[in-house]
Chains A and B, each alone.
Chain A
């Protein structure tokens, strides 16, 4: 089945700096890659996603890049703010089914004021 590895497990940045979280996946049939933000005690919230026919997608301060050849994708957050502090999970669709998400292990992002 699909295996998703996520790095780093923890990341601390100063407010205003950029943060980058990286994920690799194993199944070349995977074609959908969402990112979720989960604040303490809350539900995972979809913040951005990318499909395999696109190399990059941006939404205000958040961007995701995908390298299908290398089987890795990354989340970029610019001009970080304290409210960006949360656990971020990447995910990849397994066996070519977007419904069958496999999640990475998560990154605890802390933005220091």
Chain B
């Protein structure tokens, strides 16, 4: 699986959009980008994933650059409950295989 690089921490004011970047410059053509988050003392929560097109669901939007070397997770209206560690993962689709989380980005949403 391709390596990802994320900033260690970010702050965001409540109600504003949170834009979390991820670099994955060694991504290959059959690798998807997945985003998870983990709120303290809870299990990881799946947010969204995509291959090359931008994706949106009820939680967030995923913007993948045309060369696929980076992506941005957008939480459109951050709330205090969005405070968590966010993980960007790149992996090949296929049979069951393990997830490997990097160090992620600790997002702090403030009043």
* A and B: bona fide binding partners: no
